[in-house]
Amino acid sequence: MIAARDELHELLAARAFRWGDFVLASGRRSDYFFDGKQVTLEGRGLFLAASLMLARCRELEVTAVAGDDGVGPLLGAIVALSGSGSEPPLRAFMIRKAEKQHGIAAKIAGPAPAAGERVALIDDVVTTGGSVLQALEVLAPTGVEVAEVLVLVDREEGAAGAMAARALPLHALFRRSQFSTRS
């Protein structure tokens, strides 16, 4: 897994960081933007990210992964890889940013979460943790136990503290400080 981690780090460093003036989802301004989809929407990058995240999910002994619709491909890849081994396959459910106005109009897509189920909440990047906290609000009525928030990159701008304040572990495959400050 060390080689996979090193290769993913190289891909993220080369493709996912953009430099300039950006407004983030948190409303903060930043001189860089982390666009994880430049890596997770490409075969090798998605495979590496999903493999490393699946390994962590197995350590956590979760039965499902969840995340917002922005990480749908990553959720699908983790679940697909989980079905290739001898351990039970994971399930995934996706938290919609906007509730659909047709069909069953559910805020959560996929198999229904089960009360007491251990879940890893997946995201590509966290800044202040706002998106994760919104996802937690949607998940709360289901009765699932969020074992951990698992992300590709922690921007190191407050998310860890926000999660700690809720006694929720944050595990980042990488931290912002592990990448150079310019490409």
Residue range 129-135: mean pLDDT, rounded: 91
Phi and psi, residue 179, nearest 5° = -120, 155
Phi and psi, residue 90, nearest 5° = -85, 165
Task: Render pLDDT for 32-70 as a digit per residue (tens, 0 to 9).
Answer: 889 999 999 999 999 999 999 999 999 999 999 999 988
Contact 125, 34 (CB under 8 A): yes
pLDDT at 182: 65
Contact 146, 136 (CB under 8 A): yes
Residue range 159-176: mean pLDDT, rounded: 95
Q: Which domains does the chain have, with CATH numbers?
A: 49-178 (3.40.50.2020)
Phi and psi, residue 143, nearest 5° = 80, 10
- Residue 99, pLDDT > 90, answer no
168 or 98, which is more confident? 168
Residues above pLDDT 90, as percent of the chain:
74
Other residues' Cβ atoms within 10 Å of the Cβ of residue 70:
17
